[in-house]
Amino acid sequence: NADNPIGIDPFRTVAKELKFLAQNVRGLLGSGHPMLDTVSKYYTQSEGKYVRPTLVLLMSRATALTPKASRNVLQQQSKIDQPITSPSILSDRNPDAPGYRPLTASDSDANYTYASAGTDILPSQRRLAEITELIHTASLLHDDVIDHSEARRGAPSANIKFGNKMAVLAGDFLLGRASVALARLRDPEVTELLATVIANLVEGEFMQLKNTAKDEKHPVWTEDTITYYLQKTYLKSASLISKSCRAAALLGQSGPEVVEAAYTYGKNLGLAFQLVDDMLDYTVSGAELGKPAGADLELGLATAPLIFAWKDNYQLGALVGRKFGKSGDVEAARSLVAQSSGLEQTRALAQEYVDKAIEAIAPFPDSEAKAGLVEMCEKVMKRRK
């Protein structure tokens, strides 16, 4: 392998942890209500990319050898892996109800096992990785309702399979369980960070309801157009990644410089990740993505490739103003983007952010995990789904 001549796999150590992650996430989602149990675990069955937990685990390991600070937190590591389930609420269930299944031994708190690969990652950091996946999956359940999406990870989306009501409620349930797990970390600063992420996700979605700061029929391109888009992108994507990287460093008792570097890495990687996501929506087929392609224009969204194309094509303003709602708008916008340098500019901006992410962690001592964080940057730039 030309990229990796000495054959070190930077993911090796976290790959072991990831094997247990999906199982532990499902462990956090047990409900005695069989339908809620099914819907809330639905997206955990298909193999996600686990980008956020991978970053948390890599950051935990990469910061393990950096200078420590003493923080005034009373961490009760022993309580973290206690079961969080509510198996008994439907003890008098109606066996004729749809989705009925008898309670099994695995529904019982007593049989709950918390699995880990037993590496030097702290239980609190491992649990944080699971919490990031829960919050992310909750946002996908809600997002697919908002976007009327029909597919996710190569299968029918939860809203299609179970309907909007159950999809929204399951998302709320995931946030509830994420909150319980977060509370059990007994770290107020980390709790505040992740609670802020949940608020930020909603703020990002609200910003995205409009393409520009002002609601105009004929918006004119200004530098504020990009600023608004990047602020939205931070809130909807980079906030979770940056704040969870920060939280990983905090849980490891890292000193302030390391905490800040972890955050800067996550923020820049998160922005690059979403820029690439917005580019792939134009360049990759739905079959390859496992979700509908070209969806953003259909949803009325002006993302980076279009915003860059708009800078050189003022006439796109009218289309942005009516959210590509007139017949022929989507096709016209798509072809102007294709003729412009919008996709190249999007990729170049993503590369700038990735470079900043790598620069942020440069002072960390060299380790496999640090190499893994660098490789995550390369993966973000190379990914096709």
User: Which residue of 133, 143, 278, 281 would you call a contact of Mg ion, by CB under 5 A?
Assistant: 143
Q: Closest approach of Cβ 296 to Mg ion, in Å?
A: 8
Judged by the rule CB under 6 A, the positions of this chain that interact with ligand FPP are 138-139, 142-143, 146-147, 149, 171, 175, 198, 201-202, 205, 236-237, 291, 295
Question: Out of ligand FPP, Mg ion, none, which partner does residue 201 contact, by CB within 5 to 8 A per kind?
Answer: ligand FPP
Whose Cβ is closer to Mg ion: residue 37's or residue 144's? Answer: 144
Whose Cβ is closer to Mg ion: residue 276's or residue 357's? Answer: 276
Q: Closest approach of Cβ 20 to ligand FPP, in Å?
A: 24
Q: Euclidean distance between the first and final Cα of the chain, in Å? A: 22
CA 98/CA 126 separation, integer angstroms: 36
Stretch that binds Mg ion, among 33-41, 50-58, 66-74, 140-148 (CB under 5 A): 140-148
Question: Out of Mg ion, ligand FPP, none, which partner does residue 138 contact, by CB within 5 to 8 A per kind?
Answer: ligand FPP
Q: Closest approach of Cβ 18 to ligand FPP, in Å?
A: 20
Question: Out of Mg ion, ligand FPP, none, which partner does residue 198 contact, by CB within 5 to 8 A per kind?
Answer: ligand FPP
Q: Could you tell me the CA-to-CA distances from 1 to 11, 13, 70 in Å, in that order?
A: 15, 20, 42
Question: Out of Mg ion, ligand FPP, none, which partner does residue 175 contact, by CB within 5 to 8 A per kind?
Answer: ligand FPP
Site pattern 144..163 for Mg ion (x: CB under 5 A): ---x----------------
Can residue 133 be called a binding residue for Mg ion (CB under 5 A)?
Answer: no
Q: Closest approach of Cβ 143 to ligand FPP, in Å?
A: 4
Whose Cβ is closer to Mg ion: residue 241's or residue 251's? Answer: 241
CA 97/CA 94 separation, integer angstroms: 6
Can residue 277 be called a binding residue for Mg ion (CB under 5 A)?
Answer: no
